[in-house]
Amino acid sequence: MTDARNEWVGFSPRRVWMIAVNTLTESVRQKVYLIMILFALVLISSASFFSQFGFGETGGQEALEQLKFIKDFCLGAISVFGMLIAIVGTAQLIPNELENRTIYTILSKPVRRFEFLLGKYAGSALLVLVSVVMMSVMFGAALKFKGDNYLKVTQQSVGQAQDAGTMEEAVRQMQKIRAAVYDPDLVKALLLTFVKLALLAAITLLVSTFSTSMVFNVAVALLIFFAGHLVGPAKEKWAESGAARFLLTLIPDLSVFNVADDVILGNAIPWLYVAKVVVYGAVYLVCVIAAAHFVFADREI
Amino acid sequence: MRAILMAILMLVLPVWWTLSLQQRIEGERLQLKYGGAHVTREMRDVIGQGMAIGLLAGFRGVVADFLWIQSHSHWEKKEWLQQYSDMQVVTTLQPQSVLFWDSGSWHMAWNIGYAERVDTNNYTLAQGIKREMVWHERARQFLLRGIENVPNRYELYFKLGWLYDQKFKDPCLAAEQYGIAERFPDVPAYVVRMHCRKLAECGKVAESYECWKSIWFQDHNKVPHIWSIVEREIRKLENDMNIPEPQRVFPKQSHKA
């Protein structure tokens, strides 16, 4: 047991960084992670080949429907696999260190428990970031591939247009396809997905500071993930009860991070909204890490 | 023990720090109409357990897409009422999707309507036509609900106008909807022309003439109209209305303005 207040004395960001990089390296080498990221990348890249999953319309409408499907599917996959990577990647960090007894070697050196905890979290957040970036690049490629195909087909129909009206419609269709493929708002959806996953990783770390079982950590984090998406409807249901609203505020409302649907539907997402949600996530994240610090500082190792 | 209390305090702190921020975010989400209807027991019965879990995990778009595909498979099996039910759920899940309102109403008015009319189980042609008209009305109601949810885009007004024009054969109602659609800045040029044409069909010839003239006097290099059509329509209306020679955009003697 250590005094949590003394943890700040001699705090070294360099040591935190070293632990973070080491954690990232260890995580990336794990088979569980490699299988998950590989599966995610294959799934996302294959989204562009789901031509049979169209909604059955013909003409220009088909292209927009296909692109909507690809975006929904890929952003959904990024969210699911990101969630799995964040939870599984973080849940095992402290239990593994304890099981392998490597934590004694680290903490016997001049490394504060807070530095260790923060380093572990930073490593996990980096892992999530790397994964989200890789999946996003693959998503972008899949979208561009499909979009370019549709653009080529529409371009041909412009060339073959018999009358000016058909040509006008085809040109307009091309503009819509371009807007759907090169949508800058997708970055906002990906950014908020990352913040949500980083918060989820922090919550998992908090759970793992007082639990010794990885399965327990994963299960609790998953439950919080689902509960976080139900906070909004629950608040509406129990809007009159102040106590219920207070208790519900303890769980971060994860649905506020979900703007992917609205981006895909073409709704404007103001940067101010994104900034507010990022601040909201950051406040929770800092508090959860601080709580994890107090629990971990008090823990018998 | 003190550390545990501190940890609990840390978890309670965001409640105060973020309460006003959270309320502002919630308010903004409502204002911007983000998300869609929440999962209810009735909805869960329609979409099934797997999709309900997907919804609870925040995968609204994916669930809506799969339901849409499922609705299409109902179409292939001629299960039109199930298809209609799926379309209702999909649009409840993503009420902001123009695509779903647009394609859904098209399915109802054109595909299902026609299939009902030519259904071999009909005793008479009149019965088929009556069944078809039921689907036209459903499509109309569907589009009206779509417009309630997406009032800030031209597409659904245009589609409603198109429905009035093609299926209800009512050029006046069609002109009214095209008129609303043409007020949007991103509206395609053909919608404006269709508005002018339907005004004439509705009997509002003078309004139609003014409408065509307003198109003609725009900058021909900037506005992407098919100018030959505009000229043709103006000439026709000027002849029909017997516009005095000096007031004509295209005097009888000239071929070009």
The contacts of residue A114 (CB under 8 Å, 6+ apart) are A4, A7, A8, A11, A293, A296, A297
Interface of B with A in 109-148 (CB under 8 A): none
Q: Which residues of A touch B61 (CB under 8 A)?
A: 68, 71-72, 75-76, 260-261, 264
Token digits of residue A140: 């972008």
Say what the pLDDT of residue A244 is: 77
Q: What is the DSSP string of B62-81?
A: HHHHHHHHHHHHHHHTT-HH
Which of A260, A273, A291 is facing B28, going by the closest CB pair?
A: A273
- Tokens 């010839």 -> residue: B205
Between positions 43 and 62 of B, the ones with CB within 8 A of A are: 56-62
CA atoms of B46 and B74, how far apart (whole Å): 14
Q: What is the tens place of the pLDDT at every residue in A141-182?
A: 999 998 888 888 888 877 777 676 677 777 878 888 888 889
User: Is A164 in Cβ contact with B226 (below 8 Å)?
Assistant: yes
DSSP 8-state secondary structure symbol assigned to residue A256:
G
> Distance between CA atoms of B107 and A292, rounded to whole angstroms?
54
B257 confidence band (pLDDT: 50, 70, 90): very low
What pLDDT shows up at residue A53?
53
- Which of A7, A142, A132 lies closest to B3 in space, CA to CA? A7
List Cβ neighbours of A269 (8 Å cut-off, separation of 6 or more). A185, A188, A189, A259, A262, A263, B32
pLDDT, average across residues A33-40: 92
pLDDT at residue number A51: 56
Residue B22 touches chain A, beta carbons under 8 Å: yes
Q: What is the pLDDT of residues A276-300, one digit of tens each?
A: 999 999 999 999 999 999 999 888 7
Q: How confident is the model at residue A259 (pLDDT cuts 50, 70, 90)?
A: confident
Inter-residue contact B171 to B152 (CB < 8 Å): no
Percentage of residues of chain A with pLDDT beyond 70: 91
Report pLDDT digits (tens) over B94-110: 888 888 999 899 999 99
Tell me the pLDDT band of B252, cut-offs 50, 70 and 90. confident
Which of A229, A284, A298 has the CB atom closest to B57's CB atom? A229
Residue with tokens 């807070």: A114
Pairwise pLDDT comparison (A220 vs A248), residue with the higher score: A220
Instruction: Determine contact: B252 vs chain A, CB below 8 A.
Output: no
Mean pLDDT of chain A: 86
**In A92-213, alpha helices (H):** 93-100, 102-108, 113-160, 164-181, 185-210
**Does A187 have pLDDT greater than 90?**
yes
Tokens read off for A112: 């504060």
d(CA A120, CA B77): 55
Locate the DSSP E strands across B125-196: none
Are the C-beta atoms of B142 and B163 separated by less than 8 Å? no
Predicted pLDDT of residue A241: 76
Residue type, B4: I
Mean pLDDT of A106-128: 91
A contact residues 248-267, partner B, Cβ 8 Å cutoff: 249-250, 252-256, 258-262, 264-267
Q: Do the Cβ atoms of B213 and B184 come closer than 8 Å? A: no
Residue among B142, B99, B139, B141 nearest B116 (CA): B139
- Whether the complex's predicted ipTM is more than 0.85 is answered with no
pLDDT digits (tens, 9 = 90+) for B160-209: 999 999 999 999 999 999 999 999 988 888 899 999 999 999 999 999 99
Angle, helix A31-46 to helix A13-29, in steps of 10 degrees: 70
In chain A, whose CA is at the least distance from the CA of B62?
A72
| Residue A110 amino acid letter | P
User: Closest chain B residue to A265 measured between Cα atoms?
Assistant: B97
pLDDT at B95: 87
Residue range B27-75, pLDDT digits in tens: 887 777 676 666 666 777 777 777 777 777 777 888 888 888 888 888 8
pLDDT band at A88 (very low <50, low <70, confident <90, very high): very high
| Single-letter residue type at B1 | M
Confidence of residue A126 (pLDDT cuts 50, 70, 90): very high
Rounded alpha-carbon distances, angstroms, from residue A291 to A95, A125, A203, A297, B93: 18, 17, 10, 10, 37
Task: Record the tokens describing residue A142, joined without a space.
Answer: 């899949």
